[in-house]
Structure 1
Amino acid sequence: MSRGFVKESDQEEPIVVPPRAALPEKEINYVTPYGKNQLEKEKNTLEKQRTELDTKDETQRRRELSLIDGKLKLLGERLKTAQVILPANQNHNEVRFGARVKFKMNGNVQEFQIVGVDEANVKEKKIAFISPLAKAMTSKKEGDKFEFHLGEESRPVEILKINY
């Protein structure tokens, strides 16, 4: 259509749906039971927002629906591939998915839980199982010491405690 027949006000900015946390291609989408529950809650919240959308402006309504639908689509794909890992089924003698690991790195004691990519949140002391630190810790046992390589740096790490 020629630009002569299009009103400037009809030119809407494209809707940008924020991407979900990165999950490398061909990587299994592991989640904790809590993580799966959070994804389901997020889906319910988005569906509720969609049905309760209250705006008189049709353009704004269309934009908000597009954003919600985009988020629901991405979330649906993530939920469809989610594989729940039960802590009870893990080897509690070593670091595995879902473990809460207390460790010493460079003399500083820290604690993180290894979780799915959608659950990862450093403020909540949760790191994704695909993170370099989680990968380096996997299969380690209490008392194990190893060097964690981060770029050109190497940091000594000792596993102090593993809980599920």
Structure 2
Amino acid sequence: MNKAFVKEGDGDDDDLESPAIQIPAGSKNYITPQGHQRLKDELLHLIDVERPEVVRIVSWAASNGDRSENGDYIYGKRRLREIDRRIRFLTKRLDLAEVVDPSVHHGSDQVFFGATVAYENSAGEEHEITIVGIDELDPLNGKISWIAPVARALTKAREGDTVTLRTPSGVDELTILKVSYPAP
């Protein structure tokens, strides 16, 4: 069959909710209080601001008559599906969220969720990372997920410890230089 006569999907595939990282089976969706608040703020913004505005545009465009060539209507409906998909995703993530306050470990030299860790690899390069939830990660700014191999290798180690990190390019030794947590 010629592709010209195949109807394209409307993009409502719920199994493609988001390109986000999946939570490991049997694990909780750990998140910092700040990350939880960001997700809640995004959800409320979508529900209270963006969605009503797009609904207004779509209803105005629909009242103009022929919808088949009405760009405002077509793109508005597409944007509405994107917003609804994101709302469903955020709602599910917030329902599964386990808020963990890293400030309870303030003053500790052991690595747990929420720690900011300065470490040196075997090549002598120093790095600083903060271990956060999978919905908060920002690798370019040093925020890595608690399920990342580096985070798993560092977890429960203490300042001065050397841990082994297995990477695709081989084994690396990481020496923990400093562990810090936000103040309560």
Name the TM tier (shorter chain).
0.7 to 0.9
Contact 1:20 1:74 in 2 (8 A): no
TM-score under structure 2 length normalisation: 0.77
Distance in 1, matches of 2:51 and 2:8, equals 20
Moved more, 23-32 or 121-130: 23-32
Q: Does 1:151 align with 2:168?
A: yes
Distance in 2, matches of 1:127 and 1:33, equals 16
Distance in 2, matches of 1:154 and 1:19, equals 29
Pairing 1:109-128 to 2, within 5 Å after superposition: 109-128=126-145
Distance in 2, matches of 1:46 and 1:12, equals 26
Give the RMSD, CA atoms, in angstroms: 2.0
> 2:10 matched to which residue of 1?
14
TM-score under structure 1 length normalisation: 0.86
Per-residue deviation, 1:18: 3.2
Pairing 1:69-88 to 2, within 5 Å after superposition: 69-88=84-103
Distance in 1, matches of 2:165 and 2:52, equals 49
Which one of the candidate residues 65, 89, 100 is aligned to 2:116? Answer: 100
Unaligned 5+ segments in structure 2 are 62-71
What is the CA deviation profile of residues 115-152 of structure 1, one whole-angstrom value per residue up to 9, with x for unaligned ones? 00011111111000001110000000000012211135
Per-residue deviation, 1:13: 3.3
**SS state at 2:93 partner:** helix
Q: Percent identity?
A: 32
